[in-house]
Amino acid sequence: MADSGVAALHRSILEWYSVHARPLPWRDPSCSPWGVLLSEVMAQQTPLARVEPAWREWIDRWPTPADLAAASPADVVRAWGRLGYPRRALRLREAAIAIVDRHGGDVPRDQGELKALPGIGDYTAAAVAAFAFGDRSVVVDTNVRRVEARVVTGVEHAAPSLTRAEVELAAALVPEDDKDAATWNVAVMELGALVCTARAPRCAECPVRERCAWNVGGRPAYDGPPRRGQKWHGTDRQVRGIIVQTLRDSLDPVARADLASGRDAAQVDRCLAGLIEDGLVEPVGAERFSLPGHDQDDAVEEVAG
């Protein structure tokens, strides 16, 4: 894409964002870098409608990394609620401890130092650098990949997993100015979330519809590798979630027989073993289980299987 085309793309999307951006609390200029980091971890594979109330609860309860670092693992997992992938809650606590130990309680600005924190990968480090500190970085999430695949490449969907070509394209499109770059990153994400959606995109409302290669080309159907939806019912992921939620709802350790009631015993044992390995569940005695850090007098024994 020629420089003039990129400049026009920037102008159109940034102007659209200035009007249509959702007023999310972590986008407020007064939000701390810690609040931004929390939002980015919580929003991974989770709709923002579910993230915002949980984020408000966390930021009220643990407004600094030091506050979360001092919390018990069980309290952290309980507070995670139904955000999904609860191991993220423990990793956030581990990141908070590292921030306190390594950086005096302040979220680091350097992307290398951010990536060195537990549970923080390339995407989250780039997002925190951009949205917490206003630094130029390349933020590539599912929405960004889809928007840029359609607008520039002319295909309906991005590749099944992130490619080097997608990263290079995203990097080439980021404005040089730090402030514009940070706004551009969130603006493209917002466009993908609200207009250039995976299903039923609202092309008539798109600010770059006349420059979008996919739209101008007649919106050709996707002909890449098969896109398989994820099953949920009956999967280990569902059973793991049921186990963790059951333990969240109980003040006392729960017997294995209650966790396995009505379910395949082998699957429950497999899920329990995985949850224990992930640090989300602790065995209490021989046949009872609790969230990590639960106060207990009984000896801890390993779960078979």
Of residues 61, 63, 64, the one with CA closest to residue 81: 61
Tokens of 57: 């609860």
Q: Would you state the pLDDT for residue 243? A: 85
Q: Can you give the CATH number for the domain in which 80 is found?
A: 1.10.340.30
Distances (CA, A) of 34 to 105, 156, 195: 10, 35, 29
Q: Can you give the CATH number for the domain in which 265 is found?
A: 1.10.10.10
Catalytic residue flag (residue 148): no
Report yes or no on 210 lying in a domain: no
Tokens of 161: 């997993």
Of residues 84, 95, 116, the one with CA closest to residue 36: 95
Q: Which of 88, 115, 133 is the last residue of a domain?
A: 133
Report yes or no on 109 lying in a domain: yes
Report yes or no on 37 lying in a domain: yes
pLDDT digits over 148-200, tens only? 999 999 999 998 888 999 999 999 999 999 999 999 999 999 999 999 999 99
CA angle 103, 42, 125 (to 5 degrees): 45
Report yes or no on 10 lying in a domain: no
Report yes or no on 95 lying in a domain: yes
Residues contacting residue 115 through CB under 8 Å, at least 6 positions apart: 121, 122, 125
Q: Which of 133, 165, 180 is the last residue of a domain?
A: 133
Q: Would you state the pLDDT for residue 132? A: 97
Q: Which of 133, 164, 189 is the last residue of a domain?
A: 133
Overall domain count for the chain: 2
Catalytic annotation, pick one of 40, 148, 166, 282: 40
Q: Would you state the pLDDT for residue 10? A: 96
Report yes or no on 25 lying in a domain: no
Report yes or no on 76 lying in a domain: yes
Which residue range(s) make up the domain with 47? Answer: 33-133
Give CA–CA dist 107/64, Å, rounded. Answer: 9
- Dihedral sign, CA of 219, 225, 230, 231? positive
Low-confidence ranges of the chain (pLDDT < 70): 1-3, 224-232, 294-305
Q: Would you state the pLDDT for residue 299? A: 32
